[in-house]
């Protein structure tokens, strides 16, 4: 049977999609394009209304262009639909989290065939109670084409931010046991992955037997031979002095942190019901890390146009981006989510929201450019993710300076700059190159020894 999967949303969702694919491959299912598949899995994200819209548009396109395919929705979208937070889509089946890694068995038992309803009928849900261990299945990296692997250490969230639907679909925070993390880490290292990314909804909330994230990182570094450990998004309160010192001093931790700051206004953060943190105190911690690791890259999530955001609130956020501390920012216009406290708040005018978003996006482009610029002429290390004929690659607006090589190596530096390096280097290897040109969060040059 032929299948295809489309992953929407965050890196955690991408990781869970990788596990789904691996399980299907092990059961003999064959991957193909969604236009030719017997089964199309849609691993959905519902963090914004735009994410919902993209998923629905994709489902409607499948139904037009591959009407015989069975469309199975899983991920956060399936949970939201099952909980009646989102309306269903006729002609699709929902795969709850307790079944998402055992889809092949559902087909063997014909359970999907009996529950799958054709487009003109109502939707039914394939559902069951999920035991704790289903949150953290083992992955062997069989279908991961990239040279970095994700390792899920935590799921769910105990915070209740007024705008956020995630706790409603992911549940409360749970942590993967330490020994299971080390075991999974060793499997991935043995498969040849040079970089492991610790991922979850709120990895800073990881705790097990009175151990916390900084303890986990130390144990990983002490007990495994991981070449580079990368942390995914870290909530601001997670930046304890212990963790800050560890990140600043340990070279095996990638110099890259993504912080969902959301706003530069403490007043607005309280309105959002964000976890307690002081914006200026967080900025000082980031600057202290940069004093010790000057190459470090900081990213941010920013919500613009949250209800009750005043001009003064926005000005404080704008000042944060103007400071240049954040190399890049993901800027989201406020999107009311069903079931959240902010869903019924009065919106600020759309033109005001759009104008503010454009101002932040301008600053973001400037920051991305300036961050890459500082590495001009420097020798940098990166992990090679792809090696291609140079004629098949476009590196954005960067010019092609110097002698043309036959091939180009593509990857990322530890501080998350996208690399285009002319020369020969094998996928998965550690390579070095001299930066000759740059663009927004991109650098190019020639491989050197």
Domain boundary among 126, 155, 178: 126
Q: What is the pLDDT of residues 337-350, one digit of tens each?
A: 999 999 999 999 99
Domain boundary among 349, 373, 397: 373
Together in a domain, 390 and 365: no
Task: Give per-residue pLDDT as tens, 293-309.
Answer: 999 999 999 999 999 99
Does 327 lie in the same domain as 206? Answer: yes
Same domain, residue pair 173 and 227? yes
214 shares a domain with 327: yes
Task: Domain count for the chain, please give it.
Answer: 3
- Whether 353 and 399 map to the same domain: the answer is no
Q: Do 356 and 421 belong to one domain?
A: no
Quick one: 149 and 213 in the same domain? Answer: yes
Domain end: 126, 158, 188, which one?
126
Model confidence pLDDT, tens digit, residues 99-125: 888 888 777 655 555 444 333 333 344
Q: Same domain for 193 and 235?
A: yes
Provide the domain limits for residue 60. 2-126
Residue 55 sits in a domain whose CATH number is 3.40.50.12160
Q: Does residue 240 share a domain with residue 152?
A: yes
Q: Which residue has the tokens 């769910």?
A: 156
Q: What is the pTM of this model?
A: 0.90
CATH number at residue 315: 3.80.30.20
Q: Are residues 67 and 114 in the same domain?
A: yes
Q: Does residue 142 share a domain with residue 27?
A: no
> Could you list the pLDDT tens digit for every one of the 449 residues in the chain?
999 999 998 889 999 999 999 999 999 999 999 999 999 999 999 999 999 999 999 999 999 999 999 999 999 999 999 999 999 998 899 988 878 888 887 776 555 554 443 333 333 444 443 455 678 999 998 877 668 899 999 999 999 999 999 999 999 999 999 999 999 999 999 999 999 999 999 999 999 999 999 999 999 999 999 999 999 999 999 999 999 999 999 999 999 999 999 999 999 999 999 998 999 999 999 999 999 999 999 999 999 999 999 999 999 999 999 999 999 999 999 999 999 999 999 999 999 999 999 999 999 999 999 999 999 999 999 999 999 887 766 554 454 444 445 899 999 999 999 999 999 999 999 999 999 999 999 999 999 98
Buried residues in 174-184 as b, exposed as e (16+ CB within 10 A): bbbebeebbeb
188 lies in the same domain as 94: no
């Amino acid at each position: 049977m032929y299948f295809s999967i489309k992953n929407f949303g965050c890196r955690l969702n991408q990781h869970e999609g990788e596990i789904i694919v691996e399980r299907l491959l092990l059961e003999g299912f064959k991957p193909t394009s969604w236009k030719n598949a017997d089964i199309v899995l849609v691993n959905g994200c519902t963090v914004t209304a735009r994410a919902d819209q993209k998923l629905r548009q994709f489902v409607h396109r499948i139904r037009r262009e591959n009407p015989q395919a069975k469309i199975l929705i899983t991920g956060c979208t399936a949970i939201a639909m099952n909980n009646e937070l989102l309306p269903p889509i006729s002609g699709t089946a929902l795969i709850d989290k307790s079944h998402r890694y055992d889809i092949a068995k559902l087909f063997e038992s014909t359970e999907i065939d009996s529950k799958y309803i054709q487009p003109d009928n109502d939707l039914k849900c394939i559902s069951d109670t999920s035991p704790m261990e289903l949150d953290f299945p083992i992955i062997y990296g069989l279908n991961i084409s990239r040279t970095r692997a994700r390792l899920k250490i935590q799921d769910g969230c105990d915070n209740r931010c007024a705008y956020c639907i995630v706790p409603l679909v992911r549940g409360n925070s749970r942590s993967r046991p330490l020994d299971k993390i080390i075991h999974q880490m060793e499997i991935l290292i043995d498969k040849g992955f040079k970089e492991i990314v610790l991922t979850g909804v709120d990895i800073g909330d990881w705790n097990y037997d009175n151990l916390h994230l900084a303890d986990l990182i130390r144990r990983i570094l002490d007990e495994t031979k991981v070449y580079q450990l990368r942390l995914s998004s870290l909530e601001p309160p997670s930046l304890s002095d212990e963790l800050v010192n560890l990140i600043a001093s340990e070279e095996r931790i990638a110099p890259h942190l993504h912080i969902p700051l959301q706003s530069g206004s403490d007043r607005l953060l309280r309105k959002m019901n964000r976890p307690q943190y002081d914006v200026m105190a967080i900025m000082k911690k980031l600057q202290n890390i940069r004093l010790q690791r000057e190459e470090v890259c900081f990213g941010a999530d920013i919500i613009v146009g949250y209800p009750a955001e005043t001009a003064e609130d926005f000005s404080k956020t704008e000042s944060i981006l103007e400071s240049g501390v954040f190399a890049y920012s993901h800027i989201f216009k406020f999107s009311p989510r069903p079931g959240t406290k902010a869903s019924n708040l009065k919106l600020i005018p759309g033109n005001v929201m759009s104008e503010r978003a454009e101002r932040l996006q301008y600053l973001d482009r400037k920051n991305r450019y300036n961050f890459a610029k500082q590495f001009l002429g420097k020798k940098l290390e990166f992990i090679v993710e792809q090696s291609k004929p140079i004629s098949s690659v476009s590196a954005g607006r960067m010019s092609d300076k110097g002698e043309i090589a036959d091939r180009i190596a593509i990857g990322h530096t530890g501080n998350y700059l996208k690399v285009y390096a002319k020369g020969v280097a094998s996928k998965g290897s550690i390579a070095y190159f001299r930066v000759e040109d740059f663009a927004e969060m991109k650098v190019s040059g020639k491989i050197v020894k």
